[in-house]
Amino acid sequence: MSPLTAARVQMELSLGFHMLFASVGMALPVMLLIVERRWMRTGDRDALALAKTWSKATAVLFAIGAVSGTALSFELGLLWPRFMEVAGPLIGPAFALEGYAFFVEAIFLGLYLYGWDRLSPRAHWWCGVAVAVSGVASGVLVLSANAWMQVPVGYQPGVGGAPAVVDPAAALFNPAWPLMALHSTLSTYQSVGFAAAGVYARAILRKRHPHRADYHHLGLATAMTLAVVSAILQPISGDLLAKRAHRRQPAKLAALEGHFTTERCAPLRLGGLPDPEARLTRYAVEVPCGLSFLATMDPSAEILGLDRFPVDQWSNVVVTHLAFQVMVGCGVLMLGAAGWYVLERWRRRRTPGAPHSRALLIALVACAPLGFVALEAGWVVTEAGRQPWVIYGLLRTADAVTPVADVAGSLTVFTLLYGVLLVILIAFLRRLAHAATRQA
């Protein structure tokens, strides 16, 4: 395995692993605030039990996320020294501010965990607000660095094209940041909302603890509040990102759509398998003029195909297109499940005491992993679609990798680390779930 391949595999493994914990750290505190607020207003003991269970889960996931995030920071310097040399002065402020957000989150999470009987309910709830806000701030600030890699601004090129005069503020507030931050934050809410909803839907279906049905129904309702709102807003943010890609990264848009030939009234391809050699996407269902309309709101607009770009600047079209199709497919299924849940909720309000339909609960269980699948697939689209550039138009990935030959050894060590962390996480969450059930 070449050093470049090993380095890319290691970063893919690390990012894929870390994003799971980062997403929970951003979204689960919001659910905590909802149920704790309910307990403060109504005295609902089930709401208090949920808040305490979720706070413990937040703590352990935060700790594991801190370990995996620290590993990532080492990997950036060890595996991609040229990237850090070029990008460090420009993305450094984003990582520094993210560090402050992380410390604020850690401080208030400690106050939240140990303040149940030591702080007033109102003060305790506001500590939870600080955890939720700082968790989102941490993720959003990191996204500023990634957005800059998509649209590098705030520098003047020097000798060899490397940045000579830099403007860190312009890099921090780069034009790609707001939409990427919105889309990514919504994806974390959607992922965690549907995952938690699936857990409680499964508990309701199994009826192993019927005396705690209210507890499970409250958990389901709280999770679906987050899931429904994010599932509705996510397609809007995704559409805006696609329109930006049409303007700023047309080669990326062409790759994710499997669009090889420049044309007007370009079709939208659903499914299909790109064939880069033949320069066509086989087996796709084509919606006439759909891509032109979605990208520009003009069905007759011209959409650049990959034929307008040198082959050595193409991303892996097969991986990018398939990941995009997986992301969109999961999003459509979750949106359908969210709509079904809203209709059921409306029906149950008209008929007090009516249970959720078994079919809906089964659907929610099936949707439980889809948010995380879409999250990971979306990041594959973001990163694979930018290739062969690590910094779009400025630095190629192959030129940024370490010259050290033994990257495979590092890959082995980090793989073992993530394996151990995963075992610890599964064991703790199983223990926490059993403890919550016994207490319930």
Task: Quickly state the pLDDT bin for 196 (edges 50, 70, 90).
Answer: very high
Q: For residue 403, how far is the Cα from the chain centroid? A: 31
pLDDT the model gives residue 304: 95
More confident residue, 226 or 418: 226
Task: Quickly state the pLDDT bin for 353 (edges 50, 70, 90).
Answer: low
Show which of 342, 359, 385 is a domain's final residue.
Answer: 385
Query: Is 31 part of any domain?
Result: yes
Query: Is 372 part of any domain?
Result: yes
Residues 344, 433 share a domain: no
Query: Is 51 part of any domain?
Result: yes
Q: Has residue 282 got a pLDDT over 60?
A: yes
Residues 371, 254 share a domain: yes
**Full residue range of the structural domain in which residue 140 is found:** 1-232+399-440
Residues 282, 196 share a domain: no
User: φ and ψ at 376, to 5 degrees?
Assistant: -65, -40
Total domains in the fold of the chain: 2
Average model confidence (pLDDT) for the chain?
A: 89
pLDDT the model gives residue 40: 94
User: pLDDT per residue over 224-267, tens digit each?
Assistant: 999 999 999 999 999 999 999 999 899 999 999 999 999 999 99
pLDDT the model gives residue 160: 63
Q: Dihedral (C-alpha) 345, 132, 324, 269: value to the nearest 10 degrees?
A: 50
Residues 341, 273 share a domain: yes
Q: Report the pLDDT averaged over residues 198-202.
A: 92
Q: Which residues contact 416 (CB under 8 A, 6 or more apart)?
A: none
Query: Is 315 part of any domain?
Result: yes
- pTM beyond 0.95: the answer is no
pLDDT the model gives residue 435: 64
Q: Has residue 433 got a pLDDT over 70?
A: no
| Lowest-pLDDT choice from 35-39, 61-65, 373-377, 383-387 | 61-65
Q: Which residue has the tokens 């995380």?
A: 372
* Percentage of the residues of the chain whose pLDDT score is greater than 90: 60
Query: Is 245 part of any domain?
Result: no
Q: Rounded to 5 degrees, what angle do the CA atoms 3, 372, 219 make?
A: 150
Query: Is 326 part of any domain?
Result: yes
More confident residue, 201 or 425: 201
The two tokens of residue 435 are 């403890």
> What Cα–Cα distance (Å) separates residue 229 from each residue in 224, 226, 334, 357?
8, 6, 11, 21
For the ranges 9-18, 44-53, 205-214, 404-413, the maximum mean pLDDT occurs at: 44-53
Q: Report the pLDDT averaged over residues 403-413.
A: 77
Q: Report the pLDDT averaged over residues 427-439.
A: 67
Q: Has residue 361 got a pLDDT over 90?
A: yes
pLDDT the model gives residue 211: 59
pLDDT the model gives residue 422: 80
Q: Has residue 161 got a pLDDT over 90?
A: no
Q: Has residue 357 got a pLDDT over 90?
A: no
Residues 210, 317 share a domain: no
User: pLDDT per residue over 54-109, tens digit each?
Assistant: 998 888 888 888 888 888 888 888 888 888 888 888 898 999 999 999 999 999 99
- Are the beta carbons of 49 and 215 closer than 8 angstroms? yes
